[in-house]
């Protein structure tokens, strides 16, 4: 497996196909996700990485520094409280946000997701990483927990999504996804 930076625009169809297979999206959902992806391609500061096997995309992830212009981002940060003492990530500044991460079902449980998350997050300068996942996506929750993320107790989008985060412990060694295994 090869994990490399990914030009989303150039691999749009493959990216969408992986996302749809991973989540069993129907045609309507696929079209909606394609529209989101096309909008996001223009987002400055978006980083994307892809995992390839024999030239085929088997997984990808992308993210960007948290942007207060995103309504969910404002909501999560307000809920967490940005003041010292306001939560485990208070005083650590704005996080890096993982926006999507999907692996083709044929490649699940082979370390692809872990490799993608590490590759995406290793170079970031932010001191913590934030993401949201569907509350019902419990397998994804276990994956993120295995990678050092914990739930923040903050719901997003009518309770349908939960926020999770991981960061460098203050004064301690970097935790996943910044380093380690």
Ligand X SMILES: CC(C)(COP(=O)(O)OP(=O)(O)OC[C@H]1O[C@@H](n2cnc3c(N)ncnc32)[C@H](O)[C@@H]1OP(=O)(O)O)[C@@H](O)C(=O)NCCC(=O)NCCS
Chain residues in the site for ligand X (CB under 6 A): 22-23, 101-103, 108-114, 133, 137, 139-140, 142-143, 146
Give 95's contacts (C-beta < 8 A, 6+ positions apart).
Answer: 65, 66, 89, 126, 127, 128, 129, 130, 165, 167
- Residue 70 vs 108, nearer CB to ligand X: 108
> Smallest distance, Å, CB 170 to ligand X?
25
Q: Write the DSSP string, 70-99.
A: SHHHHHHHHHH-SSTTSSTTTTS-SPEEEE
> Smallest distance, Å, CB 83 to ligand X?
28
What residue number has its CB nearest to ligand X? 113
- Residue 1 vs 82, nearer CB to ligand X: 1
Say how far apart CA 26 and CA 33 lie, in whole Å: 11
Say how far apart CA 140 and CA 105 lie, in whole Å: 13
> Smallest distance, Å, CB 99 to ligand X?
9
> Smallest distance, Å, CB 44 to ligand X?
23
- Residue 52 vs 108, nearer CB to ligand X: 108
> Smallest distance, Å, CB 34 to ligand X?
16
- Residue 80 vs 140, nearer CB to ligand X: 140
- Residue 101 vs 156, nearer CB to ligand X: 101
Evaluate whether 95 touches 66 at the Cβ level (below 8 Å).
yes
Evaluate whether 49 touches 61 at the Cβ level (below 8 Å).
yes
Phi, psi at 55, each rounded to 5°? 80, -5
């Amino acid at each position: 497996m090869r994990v490399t930076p990914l030009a989303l625009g150039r691999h749009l169809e493959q990216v969408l196909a992986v996302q749809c297979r991973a989540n069993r999206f129907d045609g309507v959902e696929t079209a909606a996700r394609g529209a989101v992806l096309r909008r996001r391609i223009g987002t400055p500061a978006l980083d994307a990485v892809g995992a390839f096997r024999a030239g085929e995309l088997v997984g990808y992830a992308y993210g960007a520094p948290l942007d207060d212009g995103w309504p969910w981002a404002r909501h999560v940060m307000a809920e967490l409280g940005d003041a010292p003492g306001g939560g485990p990530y208070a005083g650590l500044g704005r996080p890096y946000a993982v926006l999507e991460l999907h692996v083709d079902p044929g490649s699940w449980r082979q370390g692809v997701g872990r490799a993608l998350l590490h590759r995406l997050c290793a170079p970031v300068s932010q001191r913590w990483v934030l993401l949201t996942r569907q509350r019902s996506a419990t397998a994804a929750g276990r994956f993120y927990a295995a990678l050092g993320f914990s739930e923040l107790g903050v719901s997003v989008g009518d309770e349908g999504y939960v926020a999770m985060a991981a960061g460098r412990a203050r004064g301690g060694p970097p935790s996943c996804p910044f380093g380690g295994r």
